[in-house]
Amino acid sequence: MVRVLGIDPGTKVVGWGVLDTNGVRHALVAHGAIRTTVGDELALRLVEVHDGLTRTIAEHRPEVIALEDVFFGKNFQSAIRLGEGRGVALLCAAQAGVPVAEYPPATIKKAVVGWGRADKEQVARMVQAVLRMAELPTPRDAADALAIAICHCHRIGRVAARPRAQGRRAPAFTRAQCEELARRVRARG
């Protein structure tokens, strides 16, 4: 089993979700959100995000972190804020020595719902179904983080099932990354 931490980055609310997977079956471990103090200046909110993610990584010890990639929507300011939150998440991953996989929003939605333009409600309902949750995951930021983790879990499953021949695309991980991942899993015992 591989432990995946999905992160929905932000500067006000950061969603996170932890799954254990063998690439085919995914088990929910935990999910939640880091809420920063409303009204604080950006630098202080980023410290809160850093501290919260550092605690989450230390508590759940993921082998890989899946993160939403930057996208350019209609609101340029939102894209900048998302980039700032992503930067903190990347820093936390690097400090913990955990590899990061990044996915654009449309790829995440397509992996979970089957359609790259799905709305947040559709994504949350599919996360609930895939993980066999009794209720919709809350808060919504955590549902998005679980979707990001599911997207990466599906990638792990495709890599494991993919034939080497026939000129298919390269695997999501390099051989060295896979060996390092296996070493960490064994060390965890």
Residues marked active site are found at 8, 68, 141
Torsion of CA 132, 108, 48, 42, to 10 degrees: -140
What is the residue whose two structure tokens read 């995951």? 137
CA dist., res. 163 & res. 19, Å (int): 25
The one-letter code for the residue type at 9 is: P
Tell me the angle at which helices 120-130 and 140-161 cross, rounded to the nearest 10 degrees: 60
For residue 164, give every residue at least 6 positions away whose Cβ sits within 8 Å of its Cβ, in sequence order, or none. none
Contacts of 1 (CB under 8 A, 6+ apart): 20, 21, 22, 27, 185
Q: Are strands 2-8 and 13-21 parallel, antiparallel or unpaired?
A: antiparallel
Name residues whose C-beta falls within 8 Å of residue 51's C-beta, 6 or more positions apart in sequence. none
